[in-house]
Structure 1
Amino acid sequence: MLRLPGNSHSQVMRLLADLFRRRSASLLLIRHDDSRAGVRHSAEVQHRRPAPLAVFRAHLGHHLRDRLRLSDEESAELIRGYLQHSDLVDALRSSYGPREVVPIAEALGQGHPADDGALAEILRSSQPRRRARAAEILRSDASGASRRPRRADQHERAFRIAYAVFAWQSLHYAFEAAGILLEEIDGQAKRVDWGRLALQHPVSELLGPLAVDWQEGREATRLRGGSSRSAWLHDGGMRGVIIDEAWHEFDSTRPALLKWLDRLVSADDEPMQRAAAEAAGLLAHHDFARVCADLIDGWAASPRSRLRQAAAWAMVAADMGGQVGHLVRGQVRDWASGHRNLQRDAAARVYASGLQQPDLSWSLADLRRIAQDPMQQHTYMVAEGVYQLYAPHRSDQIIFELAEWSDDRQLQLHAAGALLSLAAIPADTSPSGVPELLVRAAAQEVDSHDLVRLWQVALLTAGVSRRAWSTFEQWLTKADSDEALRKATAALVTDLTALPSMGRRMRFHLARHSQFEDGLPEWLDAAMRK
């Protein structure tokens, strides 16, 4: 399965044509219909969106057969029983495609048998129901309109949007952010800021349907301790849906929302910055190009490190939605390979947050480009990015790449920092906390010469040498208490002490280590004498 941008499918078809002919095989190509019907290829047919009930039957049937070992007839009978519930059928029919139907089927398959209460809870968390509730939350109160204060509807909507953006934060953030949003709305309308009178709008009125969530949150925080004035949401998925509703269902809202988020991110308050960045990431699910161009790109190029961090948070939040992951990764690669060092720093922060490219070598190549930037010489973002990429089955490839870095003077500090981060990771299978990388070295799953090159750089590089000696001494301590690790560790010590200036340094540091103050163990002393 390939995800190809633009018209790249034409080139791929040309490359694969001979192979398919030799194999007498057929190529089935599924692509977005971004062309006019008049220029559609004669072999192309328009794909019709599958009926939501059919998608539900297929996926729930699969889960029931797989989990309960039912026959086709038995699973079909259970599905017919579920479809007798009109609320379920209504939710399925109001869905926007299979992406919203499949989670309902999966939840029912995992929770079977689901009674009326369990089914109601599953539907309450489904996207169709969330959209309906979001519309209710942002709907104006038409009753008694003549008695309502000026701009009451707008004030309530602004507060509810701010409440969603600052979910699980102190309620004062929602008040402050709602005021800023109203200022941006006034600015877009080119009218004088009318201001907001104190003691005019009780929280219960401003919240409307969200008051139920707020009361539930007050009770929950009272029982466990903590602030009783938090912006609580019973269903965390409502946060993105309320933002989506405000973005799509109200006219002239988008410019004000974008400027509002930009102002929030520019504040010197980390919870406010993070919430605004996450909201930008949620909006990117629906309009990636605009949100990235109008907000996130600018944050990534900002001379303020907090704004570059906000760009990284926004990208990670955008990726979590799943539908724009390829766009997120493409944008991060553009930052990493671009000519602006500030955007390269933003890309480093994204990788340090845990985002990865589909192929490990792509992520490592990006981190190498970033590490070559002089701006990164005194940061640990690249090392943290490598740390986030690590997994036991990747150890050899990552150590090989870092060893290549160690030959480049400009990359040595990053290679050393990454090694020390990886060298401290405890193995999952070791109750005594033996380092994961030491276990791999003992099993000969990483190249010993690459490890020697890396440890030499780490132990001799001024910026990290103290930390490197401490970490290396921990390796020796673990090897001293575990005979299975000694052979590989002794070979590592022998190769290191054979290098110029390392033998005397090794003895100097080990003699001052508390574990070896009474003398070196026999195996270690022998390794150093070879």
Structure 2
Amino acid sequence: MSGQEPPAAGPAGGPTGGAPGAAPGSGGTAPGEAIPDEAARDGSAEESEERDQPQTAWSARRDLVDHSPRTMKVGTHSRFGGGYTEGDQHGVSGGRVTGDVVMGTKTVHHWSFPGLSTAASASGEIPRGTLERLAASFVTAGDTFDDLVDRLRRDRVLVLSGARFTGRRTAALMLLHRLGATPVLALDRDTTPGSLADRFTARDDPPGPGTGTDTGTTPGGGRARGYVLCDLATRRGNALRETHLLGAADRLAEQDAYAVITVGPTAVLEDDVSAADWRPPAAEDVLAAHLRTRSPEETVERLLGLPEVKEFLDHGHQLREVAAFAQLLGRYAAGEVTEQAVADFSLVSLENQVQEWFEEDESVVHLRDKAFLIALAAFDDGPYALTAELSDLLYGLLQQTENRATVPVIPVFGTHIGKRLQLARAERHEAEEHTEWGPVTQTKAAFHDERASLVLLREVWTGHPSARPALVAWLRHLADDGRPLVRTRAASTVAVLARTDLPSAMALVIEPWATSNLFRHRLVAVNSLTLAHHIGTPNIPRILDDWSTAEDRRLRWVAVRAYALIGPERPAQALAALRDATRALYRHFGDPDDFDVEMARELAEAMELLLLSPADTEVLTDLLSRLDDERAVRDLSLGGFVNACRRTEGDDRRYGTPLVLSWYARALAHDDRTAAQGIARLWREALGDPHYTGSALEVLRDWVLIASRSTTAEWALAALLPTLVATPTEHQRLTHLLRTMPGEDGNPPPEVTTRLLSTLPPRFPPR
């Protein structure tokens, strides 16, 4: 639970506790219900339930808003939930990438990337045509390439360090091409550092005629030879040493040859070995260069201006994908493919990358790296340390899936953050993270392409079902975590799985949570269903409609909480469902042993959220039209209204302006008489109802204290108070409040009470 929450108004107006006879924290159990055997990891089921407390709907929704992934983030057009901070509706709102294009049926196109392998497959000569084709579209970033050429000319051998798919192999070939080294021989990647010099031996056949500059010409007029070794394999105990490079340079000098060796950023190099960093050029520059080899300049400019091209470039694709995209654009310009194929290419490339990650054997992508990729999909743009911590938990569960007899082994050290993020095509950055104690700055990790998390989770869930047992066990661990961020991301992950395969997600994850005796589990089920509905999962309202009338009160609890979150987009249906649930609850109102006080509180909190949502006007109108209905409906309306009046902007109870008071002020400013008169009438009804008078006066005292610190709040309250006086009783009640209420900490009444008292009629006229 985040922070201290004010008590909610129950059916009798005051703060409410658990249902009579209920187990501590459980809220009671309907007759005949079976209680699942749920235990916390660090104690028994009974101890876990004693520690488990229901979080108010307001604070739970705040955690959902704060910690949902960026693909499900808040915005100005929220579909459900909301406050009024700075004019924005704060609820769970639309991400741009959660539509059918990402979460629906997987695209079936597959694109190849010819000539863009990251390493030479075996020893052999690189065809001259390949070198010429690469040179025609090769671009560099700044002047660094010229410096690398000079360094290679001087040292004969150059170690080029860069991440996979950044064009490091192409750069190696172009360095040799710039020196005029021909032919260029590709060495087998199985070459070891110790055998490096032995690979540079003169061949019997004379080199062919050169095509480069004169800088590669031998004294006798011949041509210098070139060697390229991609992805030199190094490891601890077999590092690349300076002696290896010196021996190689001697051999190369003997035959007037040059060599470029490419390595990854985590290659094991001796301290004396200085690798040159390869920094790839901008994707837009590479795309333009490739297009110019295929089309005239005016066509290139037209293609670069296409919206689909701009979107492709925004997603941070690898250079091999950029080159393949240029080929597709050339075919599009020639009328061979459709505009839809151009639009689909970015997503298809991402899908192919995700498939590649999980289809590669462990020599390329280790199981621990795959676990990290899944964790990053769940915690995208979250704290890196948290993601890494929980990815190791998943790694242990995956090891057990592969071999239950194996004790999970998790290396404590040795995994470099840079290596992990490069593999994941992700980046780290410093940003603020919401916590119970306010925002704190943390190091976060996020995919370059925000669609990656959705595509990756879909691929794992549907493409690799054998991973489901470990993934489900992992999600259940996350739901038990004490950190709101972790529980929220468990819910958002399950929402994506439900969008992909609703029946399996319901049976394996959501329903067990929804029928748990622990509030935290049920809350994760609520958030899962809410976010699943938000990203377009069908049938969620139907599930909630069924659960709202279920025999199992835990399902009813989940339905009520979820109605509060998705209700603003379908307020009429949500309000009808809440009224039906309240009527069913009040059948036992006269029997304290059967009446569920906790559920009554949940219903009032659900109404509170609906009142403070984008559907506020429609909800207010509905409440006003039913104030004369039976006791159950009236309690639902007044309880929800009093709860809503407690809420302040920014959840700052001392200095934040009450949200309902701000709503009233806006209604006056915009001449919205319906809203202004409706708020005033609900206040009069709450103050005059014996069940709610005490709670309403308590809230009004808080408003007066806030008005003593805020001129804006004082003006709004000064406009509201006269409208609450229509009878002598109402006049007496408010004047007594303002004349007798104490100040904060037992101090005398604040001066604002005198000013507010002057706004009331000095002498109430007779009826």
**In the alignment, structure 1 residue 391 sits paired with structure 2 residue 616:** yes
**In the alignment, structure 1 residue 356 sits paired with structure 2 residue 567:** yes
Deviations 1:464-501 (A, max 9, x none): 530145459999x9899689x96x96454114x45xxx
Q: How does 1:28-47 map to 2 (within 5 A)?
A: none
Rg larger in structure: 2
Report the counterpart of residue 166 of structure 1 in structure 2: 379
CA distance in 2, matches of 1:157, 1:281: 21
Post-superposition offset of 1:428: 8.2
Instruction: Calculate the aligned-residue CA RMSD, in Å.
Output: 4.6
Report the counterpart of residue 293 of structure 1 in structure 2: 507
CA distance in 2, matches of 1:316, 1:360: 15
Deviations 1:90-138 (A, max 9, x none): xxxxxxxxxxxxxxxxxxxxx9764955553369695333322322343
Report the counterpart of residue 177 of structure 1 in structure 2: 390
TM-score, normalising length from structure 1?
0.62
Structure 1 residues 382 and 436, CA gap change in structure 2 (3 angstroms): farther
Q: Secondary structure at the match of 1:525?
A: coil
Q: Work out which structure has the larger RCO, using CA pairs closer than 8 Å and 6 or more positions apart in sequence.
A: 2
Report the counterpart of residue 639 of structure 2 in structure 1: 414
Instruction: Say whether the 8 Å CA contact 1:337–1:366 is kept in structure 2.
Output: no
Report the counterpart of residue 441 of structure 2 in structure 1: 226
Structure 1 residues 401 and 439, CA gap change in structure 2 (3 angstroms): farther
Q: Secondary structure at the match of 2:442?
A: coil
**In the alignment, structure 1 residue 270 sits paired with structure 2 residue 501:** no
Report the counterpart of residue 456 of structure 1 in structure 2: 688
Post-superposition offset of 1:399: 2.8
- Which one of the candidate residues 511, 516, 524 is aligned to 2:761? 524
* Residues paired across the two proteins, number: 404
**In the alignment, structure 1 residue 330 sits paired with structure 2 residue 542:** yes
Report the counterpart of residue 734 of structure 2 in structure 1: 506
- Which one of the candidate residues 154, 157, 167 is aligned to 2:367? 154
Instruction: Say whether the 8 Å CA contact 1:425–1:437 is kept in structure 2.
Output: no
Structure 1 residues 310 and 494, CA gap change in structure 2 (3 angstroms): same
CA distance in 2, matches of 1:519, 1:385: 29
CA distance in 1, matches of 2:755, 2:431: 57
CA distance in 2, matches of 1:153, 1:409: 61
**In the alignment, structure 1 residue 132 sits paired with structure 2 residue 355:** no
Q: How does 1:202-217 map to 2 (within 5 A)?
A: 202-207=416-421, 209-210=423-424, 212-214=425-427, 217=428
Q: Secondary structure at the match of 1:226?
A: strand
**Which amino acid counterpart does residue 726 of structure 2 have in structure 1?**
T
Deviations 1:267-309 (A, max 9, x none): 2232221111110111111111221222112212222222122
**Which amino acid counterpart does residue 523 of structure 2 have in structure 1?**
Q
- Which one of the candidate residues 555, 566, 576 is aligned to 1:343? 555
Deviations 1:439-475 (A, max 9, x none): 6456787497666434423884434530145459999
Post-superposition offset of 1:329: 1.5
**In the alignment, structure 1 residue 376 sits paired with structure 2 residue 596:** no
Post-superposition offset of 1:195: 1.6
Higher strand share: 2
Post-superposition offset of 1:240: 1.3
CA distance in 2, matches of 1:278, 1:520: 50
CA distance in 1, matches of 2:761, 2:705: 12
**In the alignment, structure 1 residue 235 sits paired with structure 2 residue 459:** no
Structure 1 residues 356 and 449, CA gap change in structure 2 (3 angstroms): closer
CA distance in 1, matches of 2:408, 2:675: 71
CA distance in 2, matches of 1:118, 1:416: 46
Structure 1 residues 173 and 402, CA gap change in structure 2 (3 angstroms): farther
- Which one of the candidate residues 574, 577, 582 is aligned to 1:366? 577
Structure 1 residues 130 and 468, CA gap change in structure 2 (3 angstroms): farther
Structure 1 residues 356 and 491, CA gap change in structure 2 (3 angstroms): closer
Report the counterpart of residue 466 of structure 1 in structure 2: 698
Higher helix share: 1
Report the counterpart of residue 30 of structure 1 in structure 2: none
Q: Secondary structure at the match of 1:253?
A: helix
Give the gaps of 5 or more residues in structure 2: 1-104, 110-287, 292-303, 318-344, 433-439, 586-595, 649-657, 742-750
Q: Secondary structure at the match of 2:466?
A: coil
Report the counterpart of residue 95 of structure 1 in structure 2: none
Instruction: Say whether the 8 Å CA contact 1:170–1:227 is kept in structure 2.
Output: yes
Report the counterpart of residue 494 of structure 2 in structure 1: 280
CA distance in 2, matches of 1:184, 1:378: 39
CA distance in 2, matches of 1:377, 1:333: 18
Post-superposition offset of 1:259: 1.9
CA distance in 2, matches of 1:521, 1:464: 21
CA distance in 2, matches of 1:367, 1:529: 41
Report the counterpart of residue 314 of structure 1 in structure 2: 528
CA distance in 1, matches of 2:392, 2:626: 51
Deviations 1:170-198 (A, max 9, x none): 22222332222233334444332242233
Post-superposition offset of 1:231: 2.3
Instruction: Say whether the 8 Å CA contact 2:623–2:637 is kept in structure 1.
Output: no
**Which amino acid counterpart does residue 327 of structure 1 have in structure 2?**
N
Report the counterpart of residue 101 of structure 1 in structure 2: none
Instruction: Say whether the 8 Å CA contact 2:312–2:346 is kept in structure 1.
Output: no
Deviations 1:362-403 (A, max 9, x none): 211222345544213455632433324443355322333456
Structure 1 residues 335 and 118, CA gap change in structure 2 (3 angstroms): closer
Deviations 1:38-73 (A, max 9, x none): xxxxxxxxxxx9x999xxxxxxxxxxxxxxxxxxxx
CA distance in 1, matches of 2:762, 2:674: 19
CA distance in 1, matches of 2:374, 2:415: 16
Instruction: Say whether the 8 Å CA contact 1:160–1:207 is kept in structure 2.
Output: no
**Which amino acid counterpart does residue 414 of structure 1 have in structure 2?**
G
Structure 1 residues 519 and 426, CA gap change in structure 2 (3 angstroms): closer
**Which amino acid counterpart does residue 498 of structure 2 have in structure 1?**
A
**In the alignment, structure 1 residue 493 sits paired with structure 2 residue 725:** yes
CA distance in 2, matches of 1:219, 1:385: 33
Structure 1 residues 321 and 378, CA gap change in structure 2 (3 angstroms): closer
Structure 1 residues 419 and 205, CA gap change in structure 2 (3 angstroms): closer
Q: Secondary structure at the match of 2:685?
A: helix
CA distance in 2, matches of 1:378, 1:279: 29
CA distance in 1, matches of 2:675, 2:415: 67
CA distance in 2, matches of 1:298, 1:127: 34
Post-superposition offset of 1:520: 3.8
Give the gaps of 5 or more residues in structure 1: 1-48, 54-84, 89-110
